[in-house]
């Protein structure tokens, strides 16, 4: 048999498979027929076989948009800023997770958490001071920092209050766990800068301080600083935005969000932690036995279905892809399981490549909805073997007085009319 004949048969087999799959999808009411315009939005004059209006004249010239912006039809995809919580100098804005695809969060939609407002910093006047238990105390300009060998790595950052333990929990995926985002970060390994200064015996902690009005201060174990911590100045290929710590922030992959100190101005090498406000009165977990968990650091394995999810609606029975994100501060996601029957049975979802350490991982699961009420949920398993717990399992161990580090499974209820809502509400 000739090579041409073999190739032809392979192409024909692929064509038949595609047509059969297409017919199956159409039978499941996924695709509209060519003549069916009832399910299509917009003016009929723009639908086939007509020539649409946007083909009849040149579009906007390049010069009118020197910095790219989304389509006007996507103007609703914005950060989720609470209308019930005062947004003063202490504020937060959540990523619209249910509107996003992939694992990278656009810079304009990356979640924010501020304790003293967003400072306006001139990078030419910004300095990073490194002192304490070092051989050579140093002061760096931003130009100095950028002269060091750089790296680019993809990691998530998550606020430890994402979500809280108490009702009301929220309606959408963004309301629940929108204080997590993922980006490609560019900067200098912190250990490179520490080696330049020379660590002294007894160096066990580094106290990092930001240049905001709150002077946010957190203590980081020296082991983390010498592992994968970074001094970053760029995010997704461009310089950090002011809301993300411009011109310099600390990145401690997998650790709770506020430890990734923004507007970084000082690193003090010490033998003891600082016991600052943000690691004593805040970001600790009161336990049922009247003790408190302190220096929790790592964000544990978590996942959330983002489609279909709260606030959305299934408009037709048939095939629907269940998709969402999973992440763990302890490393890579090993697997995600999905249940479509309120947790009675679990099936393995497909993980989308790349699966990276301490980064968001996208998962997908094919589902045929029969139109009956259903409860769907996901649970993540990380490379340590840890499995995401239910909220009841978490409360049984930690009680109801905790505010931070809630990594519980979050189920969505789908009603017979297709409306999706929070099943914990």
Taking alpha carbons only, the member of 234, 253, 220 closest to residue 150 is 234
Per-residue pLDDT, 336: 98
Q: What is the mean pLDDT of the chain?
A: 90
Burial letters for 124-145: b for 16+ Cβ neighbours within 10 Å, e otherwise? eebebebebbbeeebebebeeb
Report residue 102 as tokens.
Answer: 């992939």
Q: Are 311 and 415 in contact (CB under 8 A)?
A: no
Model confidence at 91, in pLDDT bands (50, 70, 90)? confident
Position 84 scores a pLDDT of: 73
For 302-422, CATH gives: 2.60.40.650
Rounded distance, CA 252 to CA 13, Å? 50
pTM score of the predicted model: 0.89
Nearest of 125, 127, 74 to residue 96 by alpha carbon: 74
Per cent of the chain over pLDDT 70 is 89
Question: Could you report the per-residue pLDDT of 137-190, keeping only the tens digit for each?
Answer: 999 999 999 999 999 999 999 999 999 887 778 899 999 999 999 999 999 999
Digit-coded pLDDT (tens) for 330-373: 999 999 999 999 999 999 999 999 999 999 999 999 999 999 99
- The residue ranges of DSSP E strands in 236-317, in sequence order, are 238-239, 249-251, 264-270, 285-286, 292-293, 302-307
Neighbour-count burial of 270, counting CB atoms closer than 10 A to its CB (0-12 exposed, 13-18 middle, 19+ buried): middle
In this structure, the strands spanning 249-251 and 138-140 are unpaired
CATH 3.90.420.10 fits 91-293, yes or no: yes
CA 386 from chain centre, in angstroms, equals 20
Q: Band of the pLDDT at 425, cuts 50, 70, 90?
A: confident
Cα diameter, the chain: 78
The pLDDT assigned to 42 comes to 59
Radius of gyration of the chain measured on its C-alpha atoms: 25
> Residues 246, 252, 253, CA angle at the centre, nearest 5°?
110
* 4-13, 225-234, 326-335: segment of lowest average pLDDT: 4-13
DSSP lists the bridge partners of residue 64 as none
pLDDT tens-place string over residues 283-328: 999 999 989 999 999 999 999 999 999 999 999 999 999 999 999 9
Give the residue among 217, 226, 228 at the shortest CA–CA distance from 273: 217
Domains 91-293 and 302-422 share a fold: no
d(Cα 304, Cα 324) in Å, to the nearest integer?
Answer: 6
For the beta carbon of residue 51, count every other beta carbon within 10 angstroms. Answer: 10
Res. 47: pLDDT tops 80: yes
Q: What is the distance between the alpha carbons of residues 25 and 11, in angstroms, rounded to a whole number? A: 21
Q: Where exactly are the structural domains of the chain? A: 91-293, 302-422
- Say what the pLDDT of residue 63 is: 66
Sign of CA dihedral 180, 183, 189, 193: negative
Q: Per-residue confidence at 28, pLDDT binned at 50, 70, 90? A: very low
Tell me: pLDDT of 22 over 70: no
């Amino acid at each position: 048999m000739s090579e041409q004949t073999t190739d032809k048969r392979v192409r024909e087999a692929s064509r038949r498979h595609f047509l059969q799959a297409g017919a199956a999808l159409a039978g499941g009411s996924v695709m509209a027929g060519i003549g069916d315009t009832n399910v299509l939005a917009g003016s009929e004059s723009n639908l086939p076989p007509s020539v649409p209006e946007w083909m009849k004249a040149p579009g906007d010239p390049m010069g009118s948009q020197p910095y790219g912006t989304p389509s006007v039809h996507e103007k609703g995809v914005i950060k989720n800023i609470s209308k019930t919580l005062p947004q003063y100098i202490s504020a937060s804005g959540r990523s619209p997770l249910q509107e996003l695809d992939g694992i990278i969060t656009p810079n304009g939609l990356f979640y924010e958490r501020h304790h003293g407002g967003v400072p306006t910093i001139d990078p030419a006047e910004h300095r990073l001071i490194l002192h304490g238990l070092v051989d050579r105390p140093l002061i760096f300009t931003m130009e100095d920092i950028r002269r060091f060998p750089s790296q680019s790595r993809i990691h998530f950052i998550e606020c430890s209050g994402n979500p809280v333990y108490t009702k009301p929990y929220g309606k959408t995926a963004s309301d629940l766990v929108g204080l997590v985002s993922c980006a490609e970060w560019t900067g200098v390994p912190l250990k490179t800068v520490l080696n330049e200064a020379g660590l002294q015996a007894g160096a066990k902690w580094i106290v990092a301080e930001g240049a905001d009005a709150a002077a946010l201060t957190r203590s980081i174990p020296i082991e983390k600083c010498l592992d994968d911590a970074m001094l970053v100045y760029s995010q997704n290929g461009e310089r950090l935005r002011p809301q993300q710590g411009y011109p310099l922030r600390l990145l401690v992959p997998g650790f709770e969000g506020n430890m990734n100190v923004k507007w970084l101005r000082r690193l003090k090498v010490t033998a003891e932690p600082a016991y600052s406000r943000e690691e004593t009165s805040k970001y600790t977990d009161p336990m049922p036995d009247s003790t408190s968990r302190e220096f929790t650091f790592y964000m544990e394995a978590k996942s959330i279905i983002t489609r279909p999810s709260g606030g959305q609606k299934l408009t037709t029975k048939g095939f629907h892809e269940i998709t969402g994100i999973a992440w763990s501060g302890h490393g890579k996601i090993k697997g995600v399981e999905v249940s479509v029957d309120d947790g009675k049975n679990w099936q393995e979802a497909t993980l989308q490549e790349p699966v990276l350490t301490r980064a968001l991982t996208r998962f997908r699961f094919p589902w045929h909805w029969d139109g009956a009420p259903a409860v769907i949920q996901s649970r993540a398993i990380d490379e340590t073997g840890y499995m995401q717990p239910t909220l009841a399992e978490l409360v049984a161990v930690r009680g109801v007085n905790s505010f931070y580090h809630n990594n519980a499974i979050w189920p969505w209820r789908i009603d017979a009319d297709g409306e999706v809502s929070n099943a914990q509400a």
